[in-house]
Amino acid sequence: MVEYKASGPKGEPVIHKVPGRLKWNNITLKRGITDAMDLWQWRKLVEQGKVNEARKNGSIVMYDQTGQELTRWNFTNAWPSKLTGPGPNAQTNEVAIEELEITHEGYERVK
């Protein structure tokens, strides 16, 4: 939102509010750690300065219990801005989680 000052019909000050530039929050995904290296290889492209090569379009899809698609969000020009693995803690028996933060240039709900 952007505010700008103007004058009303009788010269009184008026503040108008209009939409400004769109800003999108990053997408954060979490999963139990696996032996798959795909996310780490994707992040490696960014570390090597190959951000344009790393940019991908994708979707986040929600399914019901029968496997039917309920909802879909499509995002564009995304790249992994942060990827973290689990912290070492031998005193717990919790599932090890890795977390991916994706920076993107927009998303829309299409279903």
CATH number of the domain located at residue range(s) 24-109 in this protein:
2.30.110.20
Specify whether the CB–CB gap between 13 and 84 falls below 8 A. Answer: no
Write out pLDDT tens, residues 51-105: 999 999 999 999 999 999 999 999 999 999 999 988 777 777 788 899 999 999 9
Query: Exposed/middle/buried for 102, CB within 10 Å: 0-12, 13-18, 19+?
Result: buried
Give, rounded to a whole angstrom, the gap between the first and last alpha carbons of the chain.
27
pTM of the model as a whole: 0.76
**What is the rounded distance in angstroms from the CA atom of residue 67 to the CA atom of residue 64?**
5
